Structure 1
């Protein structure tokens, strides 16, 4: 009736969010990601490109590379207090961008994609380094080579429908029932009932429906519901065993 009457059960901030015409639960993921490959020494400059040591890098064609400046900063603790130690970190706001090619056995060349250098030289520190007006009191010998690659598309996981026991083991249950009614003896009925109970006990204990209630670390797993069929088999097997004993 509430659906027919158009009633809304949302309250507070949830109601305001639902009323937005373009409510977005999650922003769009970036199209590209930056993979830092390795650190390198100070690059050599030319009019249209930079040169760095090859190292272990084999450049890919039609792939954008970036050369990031690594800045020396003072380390702080959890309370943002200086520890007296200095470390090098990658400054992602200052970099050169272009295509990477191998020109010599131990040398790589980073060539800008166009003559508009402002599009491929980002950050004040990178601009000053390119123009030769950098601060000489700062160490410019630490750089990092990175690769710009397309981000992997998120794919939904397949529904996990695996049982805690293989199908060949579960097939024993109907076979036990058939054999017990063919032979039709007290021992056979007792064996079939107890065997089915043991198999269902193992199946139930291994189910994540119970394990989720015991350990908090398993709550992220996909819950494998035991199902009504398991309870029917347990009741019938218990009845069969009790009748055989009685």
Structure 2
């Protein structure tokens, strides 16, 4: 429901739906012009049913919440979460993760993050991939970190509802990955070892493993 675009200078523009989940990473409060009804005008017209667009949402605009001098080299966006990677391997995020019950949260302390904030990831993240509500981050050494909603085992580990918010903290996947790709709802990791590994819910044979509808831990996909 929203888009991100990087500039040549390493800045980020956003547009789309912001509502109360702040996926755009900037304020978009806008008061539309009020239509004046004159005497003799019953106010009935086709235009009365039109809802004017919020120009602060519908127009690509610069996200100014990054620290001065930050250069963004990679971006990724999902339903209500946005991620940006800098040229120094740091990761910023904003918005929120959702689950089957509604808003899950941005981290253990914050429900919705309205502006970009630095995430507790290694300094050498080179690429991120985003599924519907989970993120995979790849380091230059080939390690994979994951965080977000894990109700369908997208994070490659079993998570009890009692510890549901701990899944919002980036943690390393115990798999030597060379490349990662998230999909809904089954993420795939290309390993340094021959083959691929996947975990999550594969209701449409997304997992590539015949006989497994869901996998709570990464399993090699036989090609």
Check whether TM > 0.5. no
When normalised by structure 2's length, the TM-score is 0.20
Larger relative strand fraction: 2
Larger relative helix fraction: 1
Which fold has the larger relative contact order, with Cα–Cα distance below 8 Å and residues 6 or more apart in sequence?
1
When normalised by structure 1's length, the TM-score is 0.18
